[in-house]
Each structure stands twice: as C-alpha cells, then as structure tokens.
Amino acid sequence: MSEGFVDYVVNDLLADLRGVTARAMFGEHSLYLDGSIFALVSDEALYFKADESNRKDFEAAGSRQYTYESGGKRVAMPYWEVPADVLEDREELVRWVVRSQRATLKTSPKKCG
C-alpha cells in the first residue's frame, strides 16, 4: 500500500474538506470525515461507501465494487471505486463524499475513528 497515494487523496484530492483523516486498517486505509468512515483506499484505488441512494451512480459509471478474499471466497463490501472523471472534478468529488458519508450515517449512526 502506497502511503503516498493515501497522502495524495487526503491532502490533495480532498483538501477542500476539513475533517478528513485516514487510518491504516487490515492492510488498507479507511478514510473518515468528522469521525465517520466514508471511503477505503486499496491498491491505489479510492472506494466510496454506497447504498441504495447512490449505488446506481457508481454502477452507471462502470465502477467496480470493493471485494476481498476470505476463506477461499470473494466477499463484497458496500464500497465502490470512484470514477476517474469524478476524481478530476473537485466540486463533484465533494458531492460524492457527502453522499457516501450519508450512506454511512444511515447504516451506522455511531461515529468511528
């Protein structure tokens, strides 16, 4: 895992958002906004939390869902790769962060981090 990529995401891509932090977790990094997890960084890819309110946006963009292997099986998590065009548009990226944080707060109202 490249610490440089995590630093780039937090301190460059998401610099317009106050309160974004990262924490190493299980070989990946979790990203938090004001203590609520909203994203994962894995293998130099950024994944945002999705639920029924925003999952279709990721699917329409051709994003892939975050998965990992456990016990010889693929496990899918509710995180989807952020589309490249969103990464290139800071204002749009902030909108996607807000929707992802809302998805987190709906499913897990307790703050983390």
- pLDDT (tens digit, 9 = 90+) per residue, 1-37? 467 899 999 999 999 899 899 999 888 999 999 888 9
Q: For 36-69, how does the pLDDT look when each residue is reduced to its tens digit (9 = 90+)? A: 899 999 989 999 999 999 999 999 999 999 999 9
Is the residue at 113 inside a domain? no
Residue 24 within any structural domain of the chain = yes
Residue 31 resides in a domain: yes
For residue 73, being part of any structural domain is answered with yes
Does 112 reside within a domain? no
The reply to whether 28 falls in a domain is yes
Q: 48-70: b or e for each residue (b if 16 or more CB lie within 10 Å)?
A: bbbeeebbebbeeeebeebeeee
CATH of the domain at 78: 3.30.1460.30
Give the residue numbers spanning the domain of 90. Answer: 3-107
| Residue type at 36 in one-letter notation | S
- CA dist 91 and 97 (Å) reads 10
Residue 19 lies in a domain: yes
Number of structural domains in the chain: 1
pTM of the predicted structure, to 2 decimals: 0.88
Triad 110, 51, 39: Cα angle to 5°:
60
